[in-house]
Amino acid sequence: MINEDYFLAALRLAAGNDPIPGHVSAAARDAYGLRVPQAVTAAPAELPAPAEVRGSDGCHMVRFVASGLTFDLEVTVGDGLIDIAGQVIPPPGEGSHVDVRTPHLTLTRRLPTTGQFAATGLPPGWLSVVCHRPGHAPVQTRWVRIRP
């Protein structure tokens, strides 16, 4: 004979009626907070073969493309911190800026007419760059994990 309490517990599990664990809800709220509303997400793109190879100095090039914009990022790891030198191509014009984001820190950089920017001393881990242009939806790179 089946124990009724165990049977009801099994039905609740199968129906998905158990409460969501607190750490799962907290992680979902944190991830939702990292979104950029109405942003277009740039996907990784290939670079010419020589630039794809990680340099002996800890430098690595990555490229993202979307909505007519290209993000070229040179990532350097040193002393446990991340430095980013980047360029938005074509330069997005006057009044534009980029946000270099980690889950806990956002550095905003105004874009000059060349579209170049830099951010130094970032913690290792997840990183995304968002380009804001007047009159256009933001364009963001996918989140990438940078390890020392």
pLDDT digits (tens, 9 = 90+) for 19-39: 777 787 788 778 878 888 889
Residue 55 has pLDDT above 70, yes or no: no
- Kindly report the average pLDDT of the chain as a whole number: 86
What is the pTM for the complete model shown?
Answer: 0.78
In the chain, the DSSP E strands lie at: 40-45, 59-66, 69-78, 81-89, 97-101, 106-110, 116-122, 125-132, 139-141, 144-146
| Cα–Cα distance measured from residue 132 to residue 92, given in angstroms and rounded to the nearest whole number | 9
Q: Which token pair is 84?
A: 């980013």
CATH class of 40-146: mainly beta
Where are the domain boundaries for CATH 2.60.40.10 in the chain? 40-146
Q: How confident is the model at residue 50 (pLDDT cuts 50, 70, 90)?
A: low
Whether the pLDDT of residue 57 is over 70: the answer is no
Local confidence band at 5 (pLDDT 50, 70, 90 cut-offs): confident
